[in-house]
Chains A and B, each alone.
Chain A
Amino acid sequence: MKKIISFVLVTMLAVGCLAGCGSNEAATTGEAVFKIGAAGPLTGGAAAYGDAVNKGAQIAVEEINAAGGINGTMIEFKMEDDEHDAEKAVNAYNNLKDWGMQMMVGTVTSAPCIAVEAEASVDNMFLITPSGTAVDCISGPNAFRLCFSDPAQGTKSAEYIGVNQLATKVAIIYDSSDPYSSGICESFKAEAANQGIEVVATEAFTADSKTDFKVQLQKAKDSGAELLFLPIYYQEASLILQQANDVGFSPKIFGCDGLDGILGVENFDVSLAEGVMLLTPFAADAEDEATQKFVATYAEKYNNEVPMQFAADAYDAVYAIKAAIEKAGVTADMSASDICDALKGAMTQINLKGLTGTITWDESGEPNKEPKAVVITDGAYKAM
């Protein structure tokens, strides 16, 4: 009996291995194309972000291909699921390598990005993360970042509050189990001191207890804070706004790009978000032509969805690769490692006018762009 089971299982395993090997030979026919791979969560809790990146990048790729490609060479794009898990992200990366990936957009989330970057750095694969905000995401010379890093967001937020004299007493509620949130919180506190801002309360919650914030809100209220800084994601923020209203606490609210999307939360009374300020690189109802065109294409292609910042980041990342390829004169028949060597230099010379601002890069891989702040008025994001 056991023998049969083992035999069946071993056979299945062998078949599985062969199936894995088979993918080597696929897709080598036809003209040379640039193969851009991406990895991010398409299933699981963080799927919304991976999905947005996939859609945003797809739009950019289709636009470029429709306009004749990069120097006449078409782009092929493929996104793999990493389930927001470092180990799966490395699997996704290896799978993309088997597919023939030459450049990578990704990964979408921080911890997986750190793991993938370590692999990519060994392979000398060019990598630009649209939204991996942790500092270590771009530790190698092959890696660049499109969004602000966590410390940059915290510092810029504190600067913004200080320079515009929004408040002197600030309370913070953050997710201590989330690297993004705790990273911003830390750098905010560090910069707050320089800006003459007093942090009167720092209250934490974790991913396991993110439904009831009454205790944290009460403490923030008792501390006499004029402004509540929320370096968290929008789902929790919507609950905090509701519960702040319940306990009669109405400070100014300031957040980072994680708050982007708060107006789309189901069953959320958007009037509560009135006056909420957030630092975000992208507002879907900005007036400029590029944004409006992107939003219109996105809505048309994806069932009237409104793109969030992640989609815009991915769109810009693909265009950054295009600009760098044009600058460096890279061709599709070059190996991934040669392309990386050429693009590394070219990235520091380009000047990208993207949806998320005008961006330049230095050798560290960090982007230089102006932070944009928006305020929610009449249920819509308005630039400040």
Chain B
Amino acid sequence: MKMNILKTMNKTTKSNTITYLLVAVVYLVVQLLVTTGNISSLMKGLLVPLCVYVIAAISLNLVVGISGELSLGHAGFMCVGAYASAFFSVLVGDALPEMLRFILAILIGAGVAAIFGILIGIPVLKLRGDYLAIVTLAFGEIIKNLMNVMYVGRDADGLHFSVTDTASLNMAPDGEVIIKGALGITGTPKNSTFTIGVILILIALFIILNLIHSRSGRAIMAIRDNRIAAESVGINITKYKLMAFSISAALAGVAGVLYAHNLSTLTVKKFDYNTSILILVFVVLGGIGNIRGSMIAAVILTVLPEVLRGLSDYRMLIYAIVLIAMMLFNWAPSAINWRAKIKAKIKNRNMKEAE
């Protein structure tokens, strides 16, 4: 019955439905495992980080896959979202009910990251290709270094800012320092849960998939495929590129919010170019432009090093080898041919059996 419905749908709706269903099914299976107690603490602890990386990966895929620009500063947007929301949550404290505070924190994280996305996007999107990659890389580093020297405290007089040290905040003795330079923000409430993570994934998917299949999405892809042709039919290049870039930044900010509210410490060290590259690896492994693929790749590559803990000293070595093997299996032309052959064989056999 389900297959019939799937068959009558058009191709994109079908593909989207599969993506949503995949998330829902995984969620239900995991919830079942959690409630029956059949899941290890390690896996349970990994659930929220998995949501973080899935959101980060699909949002980067919007820039890399759909808009066709190479961005190496994605962790920078996560950082902005994480810091803005964690700052908000610590500042507000218990003045608001937990759920409301977290929802506001998510909105603030997304909003601030989007603003940064627009601010960075305006000058940066004048560049193309490699140049854009370098500038986004620089942006990520700038954010990292800025956050590293930022001190913000609060006392009865209000907020105090400084870029040197805590002492120069000039706070009253009962004041509390919220952002402590290199130490970052500590004591962020742990609000992120798997359920909220999955809801955010579904929202992110909804936004991205709908954008791709909308008029704007087609315009963005037209620019990717042929900029001159797109321009000649009157598509506003800057507008559409900026749209993709800032939506992607906002969603990365959401991933950052989820990350910040999962751990009680937040330092910028996490958001260096290694993380940006890691997210890019998710996207490349899963298939540039393939949203479902980047979700699956993010899950596998996050779980893999943890599952390999049994190998102790050889863990990172094996992880790297498995990564290379997966890349080859997925994307080497000969591997693709081989898989096509196998697939044809299976099809033939099935047809013969059917006869």
Q: CB distance B309 to A80 under 8 Å?
A: yes
A86 and B265 in contact (CB under 8 A), knowing A20-B306, A182-B183? yes
Which of A10, A20, A183 meets B40, CB within 8 Å?
Answer: A20
A residues less than 8 Å from B306 (CB atoms): 20, 91, 95
Q: CB distance B307 to A20 under 8 Å?
A: yes
B74 interface contact, C-beta 8 A: no
Which of B42, B141, B167, B330 meets A5, CB within 8 Å?
Answer: B330
Question: How far does the Cβ of B67 sit from chain A's closest Cβ, in whole Å?
Answer: 21
B248 interface contact, C-beta 8 A: no
A43 interface contact, C-beta 8 A: yes
How large, as a class, is the contact surface on chain B? 35 or more
A17 and B43 in contact (CB under 8 A), knowing A81-B315, A111-B184, A186-B166? yes
Q: CB distance B40 to A90 under 8 Å?
A: no
The 0/1 profile, CB within 8 Å of B marked 1, for residues 164-190 of chain A is 000000000000111101110110011
B residues less than 8 Å from A12 (CB atoms): 300
Q: For residue A19, which residue of chain B has the nearest CB?
A: B307
Q: How far is the CA of A202 from the CA of B40 in the complex (A)?
A: 49
Chain B interface main SS type = helix
B residues less than 8 Å from A32 (CB atoms): none
Q: For residue A21, which residue of chain B has the nearest CB?
A: B40
A87 interface contact, C-beta 8 A: yes
Among B57-65, B218-226, B289-297, the one that faces the other chain is B289-297
Q: How far is the CA of A86 from the CA of B292 in the complex (A)?
A: 28
Q: For residue A150, which residue of chain B has the nearest CB?
A: B183
User: How many cross-chain pairs have Cβ atoms below 8 Å apart between A and B?
Assistant: 149
Q: CB distance A185 to B165 under 8 Å?
A: yes
A134 interface contact, C-beta 8 A: yes
Interface residues of B in 88-147 (CB under 8 A from A): 141, 145
A90 and B265 in contact (CB under 8 A), knowing A4-B339, A19-B307, A20-B303? no
Which of A19, A80, A91, A182 meets B165, CB within 8 Å?
Answer: A182
Q: CB distance B343 to A4 under 8 Å?
A: yes
The 0/1 profile, CB within 8 Å of B marked 1, for residues 80-95 of chain A is 1100111100111111
Question: How far does the Cβ of A185 sit from chain B's closest Cβ, in whole Å?
Answer: 7
B186 interface contact, C-beta 8 A: yes
Question: How far does the Cβ of B163 sit from chain A's closest Cβ, in whole Å?
Answer: 10
Chain A contact residue count (CB 8 A cutoff)? 57
Interface residues of B in 13-65 (CB under 8 A from A): 33, 38-46, 49
Residue among A13, A43, A185 having the largest count of chain B Cβ atoms under 10 Å: A13
A218 interface contact, C-beta 8 A: no
Q: How far is the CA of A183 from the CA of B186 in the complex (A)?
A: 14
A10 and B296 in contact (CB under 8 A), knowing A20-B307, A136-B187? yes
B160 interface contact, C-beta 8 A: no
Q: How far is the CA of A81 from the CA of B306 in the complex (A)?
A: 10
A114 and B303 in contact (CB under 8 A), knowing A90-B45, A183-B183, A189-B167? no
Q: How far is the CA of A5 from the CA of B290 in the complex (A)?
A: 12
Residue among B180, B186, B265, B297 having the largest count of chain A Cβ atoms under 10 Å: B265
Question: How far does the Cβ of B197 sit from chain A's closest Cβ, in whole Å?
Answer: 14
A residues less than 8 Å from B39 (CB atoms): 21
Q: How far is the CA of A111 from the CA of B265 in the complex (A)?
A: 7
Residue among B39, B40, B180, B267 having the largest count of chain A Cβ atoms under 10 Å: B40
Q: How far is the CA of A177 from the CA of B187 in the complex (A)?
A: 20
Q: CB distance B263 to A98 under 8 Å?
A: no
Q: How far is the CA of A80 from the CA of B315 in the complex (A)?
A: 11
A residues less than 8 Å from B186 (CB atoms): 114, 136
B270 interface contact, C-beta 8 A: yes
Q: How far is the CA of A94 from the CA of B303 in the complex (A)?
A: 13
A6 and B296 in contact (CB under 8 A), knowing A87-B270, A115-B265, A189-B167? yes
Q: How far is the CA of A95 from the CA of B306 in the complex (A)?
A: 8
B148 interface contact, C-beta 8 A: yes
Q: How far is the CA of A13 from the CA of B54 in the complex (A)?
A: 14
**Subset of 8 A-B contacts with CB under 8 Å:** A43-B316, A87-B49, A91-B46, A92-B309, A97-B41, A112-B265, A114-B186, A182-B183
List of 3 A-B pairs having minimum Cβ-Cβ separation, nearest first: A118-B264, A94-B45, A114-B265
* Interface contacts beyond A20-B42, A95-B309: sample of 9 additional A-B pairs, CB < 8 Å, sorted by A: A4-B339, A4-B343, A8-B329, A23-B310, A94-B44, A176-B181, A182-B165, A182-B182, A186-B167
